[in-house]
């Protein structure tokens, strides 16, 4: 249980700081001793209220024009992702996503140097939205979604608010799907209730820290988290 508490504190500090990447930390710490199908439903139950807290905190900065289309595309990808979580061997999928996320993260880091905001392709929106849903359904990870939202939002507050609104829609769907498929059980709910106070402490500390950080630094931290996660996924799932 100590490992779960440590993972929760670290993960939700990052959530409060960046608006995402909590799953990267949570799953990364716990995957050494637990199967992903055991981690994802607990993490979903713990993270669910935190998305409402962050979205409400940043409600004035949410870019609502992106929330609807992204939420629908993410839900389209969620359906096969949830089914794969329950039934498939996902090593090859993890490896592929590791490559994609790493490339996107490097591209974001280079784009940060340009500083101007550009019109984004609808095709890019569609592809990243569906792939994000697949990744969320499998692992609860919004890394690809973060890559896109980071491209189109004007600052770190808009990024956090917008992505958490999409996460609210996506996680509500996953709660229903996981319950229907028997992934969430009474035992999972009991296990998820224990870290709630730790989640609130970590989230509060992260949100307070974000107010003191330079905005550019915060965006770069998000980008570095993406790259590190992608590399970790690739290394973990290499076939040798």
Within 13 Å and on the Cβ side, how many CA atoms surround 44? 30
Mean pLDDT of the chain: 78
Over range 209-226, report the average pLDDT.
73
Chain segment 35-60, per-residue pLDDT in tens: 666 777 888 899 899 999 999 999 99
Contact 167, 158 (CB under 8 A): no
What is the DSSP code string of 29-75? HHTTTS-HHHHHHHHHHHHHHHHHHHHHHTGGG--HHHHHHHHHHHH
Chain segment 147-179, per-residue pLDDT in tens: 778 777 878 788 889 999 998 998 898 899 889
- Between the CA atoms of 42, 43, 49 and 53, what dihedral angle is there, to the nearest 10 degrees? 160
SS3 20: coil
Cα–Cα distances (Å) from 20 to 108, 140, 164, 209, in that order, read: 16, 11, 8, 15
pLDDT of 157: 85
Percent of the chain with pLDDT over 90: 16
Whole-number Å distance between alpha carbons of 159 and 143: 13
Identify which of 13-27, 74-88, 169-183, 213-227 has the greatest average pLDDT.
169-183
pLDDT of 211: 80
Contact 31, 229 (CB under 8 A): no
Q: Could you tell me which residue, 139 or 201, shows the higher pLDDT?
A: 201
Whole-number Å distance between alpha carbons of 130 and 75: 8
pLDDT of 35: 63
**pLDDT-derived band at 225, boundaries 50, 70, 90:** confident
pLDDT of 234: 80
Percent of the chain with pLDDT over 70: 72
SS3 239: coil
Identify which of 83-92, 119-128, 151-160, 181-190 has the greatest average pLDDT.
181-190
**pLDDT-derived band at 198, boundaries 50, 70, 90:** very high
Of 25-34, 74-83, 154-163, 168-177, which gets the smallest average pLDDT?
A: 25-34
Beta-carbon contacts of residue 117 (< 8 Å; ≥ 6 apart): 152, 154
CA-nearest of 213, 224, 18, 20 to 112 is 224
Which tokens sit at 73? 């595309």
Write the DSSP symbol of residue 61.
Answer: G
pLDDT of 60: 92
- Please state the separation of Cα 145 from the chain's center in Å: 8
Residue 11 has pLDDT above 80, yes or no: yes
Taking phi over 0 as left and psi of -120 to 50 as alpha, with beta for the rest, 182 belongs to: left
Residue 196 has pLDDT above 80, yes or no: yes
Whole-number Å distance between alpha carbons of 11 and 199: 8
End-to-end Cα distance, the chain? 32
Chain segment 86-110, per-residue pLDDT in tens: 666 656 666 766 776 777 678 667 7
């Amino acid at each position: 249980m100590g490992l779960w508490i440590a993972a929760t504190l670290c993960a939700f500090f990052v959530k409060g700081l960046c608006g995402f990447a909590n799953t990267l930390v949570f799953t990364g710490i716990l995957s050494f001793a637990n199967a992903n199908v055991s981690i994802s439903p607990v993490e979903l139950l713990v993270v669910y209220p935190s998305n409402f807290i962050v979205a409400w905190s940043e409600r004035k900065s949410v870019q609502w024009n992106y929330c609807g289309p992204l939420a629908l595309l993410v839900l389209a990808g969620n359906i096969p992702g949830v089914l794969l979580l329950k039934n498939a061997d996902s090593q090859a999928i993890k490896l592929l996503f590791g490559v994609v996320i790493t490339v996107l993260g490097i591209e974001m880091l280079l784009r940060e140097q340009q500083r101007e905001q550009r019109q984004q392709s609808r095709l890019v929106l569609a592809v990243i939205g569906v792939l994000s849903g697949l990744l969320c359904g499998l692992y609860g990870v919004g890394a690809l979604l973060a890559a896109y939202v980071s491209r189109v939002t004007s600052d770190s507050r808009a990024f956090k608010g917008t992505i958490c609104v999409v996460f609210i829609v996506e996680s509500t769907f996953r709660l229903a799907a996981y319950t229907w498929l028997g992934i969430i059980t009474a035992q999972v709910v009991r296990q998820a209730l224990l870290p709630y106070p730790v989640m609130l402490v970590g989230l509060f500390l992260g949100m307070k820290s974000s107010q003191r950080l330079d905005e550019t630094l915060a965006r770069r931290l998000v980008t570095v988290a993406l790259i590190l996660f992608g590399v970790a996924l690739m290394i973990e799932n290499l076939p040798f």
